[in-house]
Each structure stands twice: as C-alpha cells, then as structure tokens.
Structure 1
Amino acid sequence: MNIDAWVWWLVGAAGLGIGLVITAMPELGMLAVGAVGAAVIGALGGDAVFQVAVFAVVSVALIAVVRPIAARHRAQRPQLVTGIEALKGKQAVVLERVDGTGGRIKLAGEVWSARSLDTERAYEVGQEVDVVDIEGATAIVM
C-alpha cells in the first residue's frame, strides 16, 4: 500500500494542530497551514522539492507577518484590573475621622476601614480622599 505524499502532509498538519491546542503556541498553527499548502501542491501533482518549498515559504511568511501583528495587538489591549487593584486610585468620602491610626470611608459604595498614608495628617468627615493602597481590609488614603 503506497500512501500519497499529500496525505502525509495532512497528517503532519493535524499533528501540528494538535500540538497547537495542547501548547497554545501559535507558531505550530502557522506551520500546520504551511503543511496544508504543501498537501495541496502534492495533491495537484507537484514534486517533493516544490512541496517542501511551499511548506517553508508559507510557514515562514505567516510567522514573519502574523507574529508582529499579534504582538502589537497584545500590547494595545487594556489590562482588566479587578479586585482590590481596581480600588487603588479611586476617590472615597470620609465617614469617620481618618488619621494614622484609623477611621472609616465610603469606597465604591461600601464602608471600609481606613488610615492615613501620612501618619501626621487627619481627614475630617465629608472630605474626599484618594485611595493609594489596600492593606488587608484597610484602605490607605491621602
């Protein structure tokens, strides 16, 4: 039983596709597309040298073009900030006098214990303060 070369290219493409799914390495997907291109050339009767050349050219071209675009896209995507990291930089209103030892603020609709970043500074009821950090369940304000 003699299996045509284009079938082997498709088997290789499937193997690379499985590798892509397992490792999440996009380069394997680009190599798989190159193998599919070589399979098409093989099915159309192209010789082995031409099949390998198509595989190499398509794979390298995809890697050279797609990787920089993906890197640029990844760099432009805003990072989603959640949890206590999302509270840093927010404004709050003082509910009970806040100083270096403690107090209470209303932050994002919730009551938080708070203390002043500058231990010499105190904030009175009704003042707006900025949250600079969260330590445990205490907001550090200024």
Structure 2
Amino acid sequence: MPVWLIWLIAALGLAGAEALTGDLFLLMLSGGALAAVGSNLIFDNYVIDGIVFLVVSVLLLVLVRPALKKRFIAGTGLPDRPKELEGKSALVLDRVARHEGQVKLDGEIWTARPLNDNDVYEPGDQVTVVQIDGATAVVQKVV
C-alpha cells in the first residue's frame, strides 16, 4: 500500500473522529495528515512526511484552532422562538377553554388554553399570548 494512501486514510479517519468530538483538535491533525499526503507525493521520504505532519499540525493547533473556537463561541445561537411569540396577538379558531382550543398565531395554528381556567374564548375572538407552555399558547382576552 502506498504511503500517501496511508496518510490519506489517517486524514479521513481523524476528520471523521472529529465529527464525534467537536473540539477541532482532531481536525487540525487531519490537516497535518493531508499536508503529509502532499509531502509524500513530492518527496517520497518518510522522515520528511513526519516532519511536515508535525509542523503543519502544530501550526494549525496554535494559529487556526483558537480563532475557529473563538468564532464558534461568539455566535448568538438560535433565537428563542417562544419568547418572541409572547405578547403577540392571536385569533381564536376553535373554542378556547381549560382543556381545549386552537388559535392562529404568527401564521401557525397552536393549541391554546386560557390564562385563567374559568375563561372561555369563542372563535373569532382576538387574544394575546401571555406565555408559551411547551406547545401550548397560554392566552388572555385583548383588553
């Protein structure tokens, strides 16, 4: 088996293992192994391959990995959809009572229940979303 193929298999294996860890460490080693593939195709020398692997891996770990990790951590994340819906107006589609009801909220149909258990809202009523409880909108009558 050619040495460059061994380096390529190592690079792919390290990149695949990175998918399980998500720490970007193995991905940097995978980059070093890819550099060793190129080195082997040019020089065909085991010692040079090892040195290229070591140098490129260390450079990637020291220079690239911290910048990538910082960039990933700095992300704002996903929006909190339930919090965005609180305070919005909704249209009652099916009678909303203690254990039943549906409203149209932000273009979607949601199960709903009233904030006060004794309240009942009829189809066509406008209500305001007080909170989202799981997949249920807790609503009260628009005042």
Tell me, yes or no, whether TM beats 0.5.
yes
TM-score interval for Structure 1 and Structure 2 normalised by the shorter chain? 0.5 to 0.7
TM superposition shift of 1:79: 2.0
CA distance in 2, matches of 1:9, 1:126: 69
Superposition pairs of residues 90-129 of structure 1, within 5 angstroms: 90=85, 91-93=88-90, 95=92, 101=98, 105-109=103-107, 110=109, 112-116=111-115, 119=116, 125-127=125-127, 129=128
The question of whether the paired residues in 2 share the 8 Å contact of 1:30 and 1:59 is answered with yes
2:11 is matched by which residue type in structure 1? L
Gaps of 5+ in 2: none
CA distance in 1, matches of 2:104, 2:50: 66
Does the CA-based 8 Å contact 1:131-1:140 persist in structure 2? yes
| Cα contact 2:112–2:139 (8 A) shared by 1 | no
State yes or no: 1:33 paired with 2:31: yes
Instruction: Compute the TM-score of the two structures, normalised by the length of structure 1.
Output: 0.57
State the partner residue of 2:78: 79
Offset at residue 35 of structure 1 (A): 2.8
1:44 is matched with which residue?
Answer: 43
Q: Percentage identity across aligned positions?
A: 24
State how far apart, in whole Å, the 1-side matches of 2:91 and 2:119 are. 10
CA, structure 1 residues 15+140, in 2 after alignment: closer, same or farther (shift >3 Å)? same
Distance 1:67 1:122, change over 3 A: farther
- Deviation, 1:11, is 1.0
Q: Per the alignment, do residues 88 and 141 of structure 1 end up closer, same or farther by CA in structure 2, a change over 3 Å counting?
A: farther
Amino acid in structure 2 at the alignment position of 1:21: G
Which amino acid letter does the alignment assign opposite residue 93 of structure 1?
A: A
**Root mean square deviation, CA, Å:** 4.0
Kept in 2, the 8 Å contact 1:98–1:104? The answer is yes
2:16 to 18, 21, 26: 21
3-state secondary structure, aligned to 1:79: coil
- Deviation per CA, 1:67-109: give whole Å up to 9, x if none: 233323333264266xxxx34431133649978x477643123
Structure 1 residue runs of 5 or longer lacking an equivalent are none
The letter of the residue matching 2:30 is A
36 and 97 in structure 1: CA distance in 2 versus 1, 3 angstrom threshold: closer
String of CA shifts for 1:31-56, please: whole Å, max 9, x gaps.
233234335445436672x4433211
Normalized against structure 2, the TM-score is what? Answer: 0.56
Contact 2:15 2:26 in 1 (8 A): yes
Bigger fraction of residues in strand: 2
